[in-house]
């Protein structure tokens, strides 16, 4: 099924989801500060982003939660994403040591884009690991390759948006530094000319540090906010990109993508069950046998805890090798009731 141009505007759709609620900017002001906490801070931020992308991959219209976020769950999810991306980071650093690109010029820009593109692919692996609730799902390279070759253009577009955004953030920092420091350069040069001793220079340096440090800290904080917002939007855009692969009908992490499985099974005159029983002659009655498998629909209590299980023929494997999301009451991300049930208005 061909997707509309509007459907494939992943960055634009992700931005609209981010800015949907009043006070949408509040989490963005907190996340850069959370990253200052050693180890747990970055893991929590990555988990927050990965969990939002996970729900988007399931086709759910969700928005970042502004309060009541379960930090421990975010850190756990971030640790899983970190493990899934670790191997990709190792490959990047090995290539970096081998290639040793030029430090400036067009070659440096090109290498920076390649690095961002590679990190975007690593995030694809991290989101896949988040969907399956296990880091090893991020290393199913054949399945990731199937996804990339089907729509690599959108991945490149998201990476390009990240690349251009990073250039804008760098430009913002340089411009602010010039605005803050340049007007005082003449004064600084004159004071250095008249200060002969090392002690006088130290006092002068401390004076200028106290004078400019608050402004520079503010600039760096704003740059961190912009960078976090850009990364959050991009990670969720990747979650939206996952929707085209029919995530609710994924099976084991080793299984082919649903569309690929259908193409293999649904050959002329041969229904889908023939893949499981190649020697059996298909009859019209056999078509109903797979439908009897979804047991979770008959167990309301269990279905309430794991609502996505009932959508898969034959059920899903246990958590850890399953694509079923964790608690749907979205402990990390909230969903607006009116978006979920528009007929109740």
**Total tally of structural domains belonging to the chain:** 1
Is residue 140 scored above 90 in pLDDT? Answer: yes
The CA-based dihedral angle spanning residues 179, 183, 188, 190, taken in that order and rounded to the nearest 10 degrees:
160
Question: Which position has the higher pLDDT, 208 or 51?
Answer: 51
Q: Is residue 29 part of a domain?
A: yes
State in Å, rounded, how far the first CA of the chain is from the last one: 31
Q: Is residue 327 part of a domain?
A: no
Confidence band (pLDDT; 50, 70, 90) for 186?
Answer: low
pTM exceeds 0.85 for this model:
no
Question: Which position has the higher pLDDT, 275 or 215?
Answer: 215
Q: Is residue 101 part of a domain?
A: yes
- Model pLDDT, residue 195: 57
32 and 228 in contact (C-beta within 8 Å)? yes
**What does the pLDDT average to over 155-175?**
96
pLDDT tens per residue, range 287-342:
444 444 334 333 334 333 333 333 333 333 333 333 444 444 344 444 444 444 44
- Model pLDDT, residue 302: 39
Q: Is residue 76 part of a domain?
A: yes
Task: Please state, for a pLDDT cut of 70, what percent of the chain lies above it.
Answer: 65
- Model pLDDT, residue 193: 62
Domain that holds residue 146: 10-153+236-249
Q: Is residue 231 part of a domain?
A: no
Q: Is residue 54 part of a domain?
A: yes
pLDDT tens per residue, range 81-135:
999 999 999 999 998 887 766 667 788 888 899 999 999 999 999 999 999 999 9
Q: Is residue 5 part of a domain?
A: no
Q: Is residue 229 part of a domain?
A: no
The CA-based dihedral angle spanning residues 98, 103, 109, 115, taken in that order and rounded to the nearest 10 degrees:
40
């Amino acid at each position: 099924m061909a997707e509309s141009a509007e459907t494939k505007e992943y960055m634009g759709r992700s931005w609209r989801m981010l800015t949907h609620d009043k006070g949408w900017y509040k989490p963005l002001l907190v996340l850069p500060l959370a990253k200052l906490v050693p180890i747990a801070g970055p893991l929590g931020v990555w988990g927050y982003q990965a969990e939002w992308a996970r729900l988007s991959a399931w086709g759910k219209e969700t928005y970042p939660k502004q309060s009541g976020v379960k930090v421990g769950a975010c850190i756990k999810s971030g640790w899983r994403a970190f493990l899934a991306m670790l191997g990709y980071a190792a490959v990047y650093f090995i290539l970096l040591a081998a290639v040793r690109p030029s430090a400036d010029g067009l070659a440096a820009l090109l290498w920076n884009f390649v690095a961002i593109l590679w990190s975007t692919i690593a995030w694809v692996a991290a989101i896949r690991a988040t969907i399956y609730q296990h880091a090893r799902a991020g290393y199913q390279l054949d399945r990731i390759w199937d996804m990339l070759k089907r729509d690599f253009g959108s991945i490149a577009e998201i990476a390009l948006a990240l690349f251009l955004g990073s250039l804008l953030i760098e430009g913002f920092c340089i411009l602010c530094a010039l605005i803050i420091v340049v007007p005082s350069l003449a004064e600084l040069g004159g004071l250095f000319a008249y200060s002969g001793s090392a002690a006088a220079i130290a006092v002068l340096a401390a004076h200028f540090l106290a004078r400019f440090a608050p402004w520079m800290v503010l600039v760096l904080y704003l740059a961190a906010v912009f960078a976090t917002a850009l990364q959050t939007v991009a990670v969720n855009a990747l979650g939206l990109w996952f929707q085209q692969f029919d995530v609710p009908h994924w099976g084991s992490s080793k299984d082919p993508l649903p569309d690929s499985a259908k193409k293999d099974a649904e050959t002329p005159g041969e229904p889908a069950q023939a893949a499981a029983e190649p020697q059996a002659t298909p009859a019209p009655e056999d078509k109903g046998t797979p439908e009897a498998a979804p047991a979770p629909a008959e167990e309301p209590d269990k279905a309430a805890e794991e609502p996505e299980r009932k959508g898969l023929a034959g059920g899903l494997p246990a958590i850890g090798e399953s694509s079923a999301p964790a608690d749907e009451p979205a402990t990390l991300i909230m969903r607006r009731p009116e978006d979920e049930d528009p007929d109740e208005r």
